[in-house]
Structure 1
């Protein structure tokens, strides 16, 4: 039964990678809808030089979905390989260059990603959330530690993710960005839509700032599952309670309904009652499951997360 499930997983970076690796143990019907706001590292250099979508998070999602054959794993490692040194290629991931080359040849971001998916034998599809690169900006209190009460605008994914201040809200430029039509359709076609885990403001929230995606999330017949991070009070969400994470979703999409919130008991701690109350207001129940990787604190264990997804979806 689970092999026929259609799942749309939304996010970016390492959080989405973890979710996609787990989902491969549950279903073959996976579509990753990936944020395109990254402006750092290899992705940032390529988007600035060629005015293209940042390929890094898309590359990571493709690598997560590669086939487990020798062919698929070897190509995964090739895509993830970074050139060393300080020269023009230093720091670039080979996969970023391949994706950028295919976009230049084909003139179609979706076609280029589908071709890389075929190369990897990917068990699923990877799509950008928008067909144009976006900049993410945020309203931050205390970005300058010497003025902790001052509220100002911070622009850029890297700047926002590393700000020492408290993020109050985020926005995109352009506003609104042009949604990827295939990504919108994937949400409508899904049996389940998964949000998170990932950096709350720069990986999870951006999808809610694309009007067509937000409308699809609100009106899809799919059930909606929110996966909370293993570490809830750090980085962009410094000082957040578990319930605060849901409150941020409501502030960016007031009519968004959830069905299940998945959390590890060790991550929630004494914030469980508040989380359950906030989840109930959004129409959701809280599912507690030990999904932590005991060997890598602060991260999800692939098989435990897969088992949690399977139990919820069945």
Structure 2
């Protein structure tokens, strides 16, 4: 029997890990961050006071069935309206998900129904039962006092900040986790965290108390997948080791079993291995990037790396 894998994250990073994991096992559950407040998701969230649907939609699309039907509905979900009208910029899938939530009155039931439409090879769940707001202490925004921290509020603002993120928090600070997500983690054989925007997609799961508690207690083994780009707007000047250090600072009780890194981000193997050991982890270095675009994960190469670790 193939292992049950739970993947945590959001956005393009989670879609990359799901696109790979679907080649490794038929038992994949995505637990998706619900803090997005930009673009189509942000508009729908503000207008209807609902969970932002965009990252959930992307995860469902990544798990679509490899058939003409699955690919057609994946493309429908991902299609965005153009023009300048009220629908401009909205993804069809976001509207479909919000419509199902309105009809069924339950977020998970609506996502499961979209999964059936796609023939999805797995399940997609929100990590919390309520929409979340990310707040961050950011230094370097005041030219006269670069060491003074400024409070930046909102996922979109944190993701684009030109300053140095020092700490993030969630609002509300103790949001209720979806029970289905907690059950999936309890039943998992492996948990995959990352890749993705470090502060706005990877870290938030560790700040939901119920999720963090189950993550620490689950007998599942944990893989942390490092990004292919170290110097994003959120993590300017960070080394791979500093990424691990920030995770440990925000979730000191979290233990990782394997840190997976592409050779391109490993400047000093011994140093990075030492940072990984502080999390309780073994460092595994494997080529997982696309040969034609080294800043994107290759689904088959990433799948091979996951398979080597998991099996």
TM-score range, shorter chain: over 0.9
**What is the TM-score with the length of structure 1 in the denominator?**
0.97
Question: 2:222 — aligned with what?
Answer: 224
- Match of 1:212, SS state, is helix
Match of 1:175 in 2: 173
- Could you tell me which residue of structure 1 aligns to residue 42 of structure 2? 44
CA drift of 1:150 comes to 2.2
Aligned to 1:113: 111
> For each residue in 1:114-173, what CA deviation from the matched residue of structure 2 results, as whole angstroms up to 9, or x when unmatched?
000000000000000001101001010013456422211100001000000000010011
Aligned partner (choices 127, 130, 136) of residue 128 of structure 2:
130
Structure 1 residues 8-29: Cα deviation after superposition (integer angstroms, max 9, x where no partner)? 0000000000000000110010
State the TM-score, normalized to the length of structure 2. Answer: 0.98
5+ long unaligned stretches in structure 1: none
Give the Cα–Cα distance (whole angstroms) in 2 for the partners of residues 169 and 255 of structure 1.
Answer: 17
2:279 is equivalent to residue 279 of structure 1: no
Report the counterpart of residue 267 of structure 2 in structure 1: 269
1:199 is displaced (CA, Å) by 0.3
Tell me the residue number matched to 1:88: 86
Q: Distance in 2 between matches of 1:290 and 1:236?
A: 24
**Residues 174-226 of structure 1, C-alpha deviation per residue, up to 9 Å, x if partnerless?**
11111111001111110000000000000000001100100111000000000
Counterpart for residue 237 of structure 1: 235
Q: Which of 20, 28, 31 matches 1:30? A: 28
RMSD: 1.0
Structure 2: runs of 5 or more not aligned = none
1:53 is aligned, of 51, 69, 86, to 51
Aligned with 1:286: secondary structure? Answer: strand
CA distance in 1, matches of 2:118, 2:198: 29
Mapped partners of 1:212, 1:68: distance in 2: 35
Give 1:96 deviation, angstroms.
0.1
The number of aligned residues is 311
**What's the offset of the Cα at 1:35?**
0.2
Supply the distance in 1 between the matched residues of 2:289 and 2:173 (Cα, whole angstroms).
37
The farther-off stretch of 293-302 and 44-53 is 293-302
CA displacement 1:274-311 (0-9 Å, x = unmatched): 21111112211000001111111311111100000000
Task: Tell me the SS of whatever aligns to 1:269.
Answer: coil
